[in-house]
Amino acid sequence: MKTHNCKDCPFKSPAARNLTIEELEVLEQHSALVNFKKGEVIFKEEALSLNVAYLRTGIVKVHKKGPTGEKILRIMKAPTYLGIPTSMGDKINQFSATALVDTSVCFIDTVLFRNFIFQNGKFAYEIIVELCRNELNDYERFTSQSQKQVHGIVAETLLCMSEKIFESSQFNFPLTRSELGDLAGTSRESVSRVLTELSTEKIIQFNTKEISILDKERLRQISEKG
């Protein structure tokens, strides 16, 4: 039984679009397509990293144990590679990935992935571009989080979710308040308070999971002034 077909995959990564037919055939033989339900762990920190994970569809949180609890490093949306740093930089996973919605992931043999880098420059180039973009994003958020205060960070996080992840001003928020705190670097209670405050000021509207942004401009102002 054929589980997947890489050649005609409608969710090919920009990198994989540069692979030849032959390379795609090899990829097909050395990769596995796995579906995850909301809440399931895709790969786990401290486990041996055997594959590169490619997020084909869905949304995941990338997270890591910290001194006082879980830190959510980033929310990622398909299509994207998830575990390149953890596969190329170290033998064991330095972070975990967990599905926030139903998700499909391709696990690609690390040796094969490495061979593609060696033999296909365009493939390698796209991987590098993706890594670089991620790094720039991280720097941006890192800077914000260490200088802004809660209002600013929560506003920024909401904007980011709206623009980058859901591409809509209204969305079903896949994180609990506590997780949003872990992402924004603050506490569950503080998030809650900021959210109600934004709501009373008619900047957002929400009922538990459903959030809609009413006044994007003011939200951006709050995000920018910190």
Partner DNA sequence: GAGTCGGTGTGATTTATATCACAAAGTAGC
Partner DNA sequence: GCTACTTTGTGATATAAATCACACCGACTC
**Among 74, 77, 193, 218, contact with DNA (rule: CB under 7 A):** 193
**Among 178, 214, 215, 218, contact with DNA (rule: CB under 7 A):** 178
Q: Which residues are bridge partners to 33 per DSSP?
A: 106
DSSP 41-77: EEE-TTSB--EEEEEEESEEEEEEE-SSSEEEEEEEE
Q: Of these partners, DNA, a copy of itself, none, which one is at the site of residue 114 (CB under 5 to 8 Å by kind)?
A: a copy of itself
CB atoms within 10 A of CB 92: 10
Which tokens hold the place of 57? 């569809």
**Among 5, 20, 149, 205, contact with DNA (rule: CB under 7 A):** 149
Q: Of these partners, DNA, a copy of itself, none, which one is at the site of residue 7 (CB under 5 to 8 Å by kind)?
A: none
**Among 50, 171, 206, 216, contact with DNA (rule: CB under 7 A):** 206
**Half-sphere exposure at residue 59, Cβ-oriented, CA atoms within 13 angstroms:** 12
Rounded-to-integer distance, Cα 38 and Cα 140, Å: 28
Binding mask 126-165 for a copy of itself (x = CB under 8 A): -xxx-xxxxxx-xxx-xxxxxxx---x-------------
- Structural contact between residues 102 and 60, judged by C-beta atoms closer than 8 angstroms: no
**Among 6, 190, 198, 223, contact with DNA (rule: CB under 7 A):** 190
The verdict on 46 binding a copy of itself (CB under 8 A) reads no
Q: What residues contact residue 140 under an 8 Å CB cut-off, 6+ apart?
A: none
Q: Of these partners, DNA, a copy of itself, none, which one is at the site of residue 212 (CB under 5 to 8 Å by kind)?
A: none
Q: Which residues are bridge partners to 55 per DSSP?
A: 80, 105
Which 111-130 positions form the footprint of a copy of itself (CB under 8 A)?
A: 114, 117-122, 124-125, 127-129
N residues, the chain: 226
CB atoms within 10 A of CB 183: 25
Rounded-to-integer distance, Cα 130 and Cα 193, Å: 36
**Among 33, 34, 124, 195, contact with DNA (rule: CB under 7 A):** 195
Residues that bind DNA (CB under 7 A): 68, 149-151, 176-178, 185-190, 192-193, 195-196, 206-209
Residues that bind a copy of itself (CB under 8 A): 64-69, 71, 73, 84-90, 94-95, 114, 117-122, 124-125, 127-129, 131-136, 138-140, 142-148, 152, 185, 224-226
